[in-house]
Amino acid sequence: GENVEQHPSTLSVQEGDSAVIKCTYSDSASNYFPWYKQELGKGPQLIIDIRSNVGEKKDQRIAVTLNKTAKHFSLHITETQPEDSAVYFCAAPPMFSGGYNKLIFGAGTRLAVHP
């Protein structure tokens, strides 16, 4: 089955610096890779996703890159701001989900942006 590993578990940066979070997955047939942001006391919110037919996708200060050969994808946040502080989760679906929309989540990265 699909296994998703996420690194690092915690990340501390200065405001204005860039932050990169990386996830690796095991199922080579996976074709959809979302990233979620979870602020304290709230549910995860989808911030960006990428499908296997593209290598990179950008949305303002955030971008996701995908390397299907190496089976990893990364979240890049540029010009970080204190409001970027949150827990970030990656996810990937296995090829055989058993008949439902299955997502396997990474364990999460706690990002702290210091002013």
Partner 1 sequence: IAGITQAPTSQILAAGRRMTLRCTQDMRHNAMYWYRQDLGLGLRLIHYSNTAGTTGKGEVPDGYSVSRANTDDFPLTLASAVPSQTSVYFCATSPTSSTDTQYFGPGTRLTVL
| Interaction between residue 96 and partner 1 (CB under 8 A) | no
Q: First vs last Cα of the chain: how many Å apart?
A: 41
Amino acid at site 91: A
| Interaction between residue 54 and partner 1 (CB under 8 A) | no
Contact residue for partner 1 among 14, 40, 43, 115 (CB under 8 A): 43
In angstroms, what CA-CA distances link 74 with 32, 40, 97, 98? Answer: 13, 22, 23, 27
Contact 12, 80 (CB under 8 A): no
Least distance in Å: CB of 60 to partner 1?
19
Least distance in Å: CB of 91 to partner 1?
8
Amino acid at site 51: R
Q: What residues numbered 61-90 form the site for partner 1, per CB under 8 A?
A: 89
| Interaction between residue 28 and partner 1 (CB under 8 A) | no
Count of positions on this chain that bind partner 1 (CB under 8 A) = 22
| CA 23-58-113 angle, 5° bins | 65
Contact residue for partner 1 among 94, 108, 111, 113 (CB under 8 A): 108
Alpha carbon distance 93, 3 (integer Å): 10
| Interface ranges with partner 1 (CB under 8 A) | 32, 34, 36, 41-46, 49, 89, 93, 98-103, 105-108
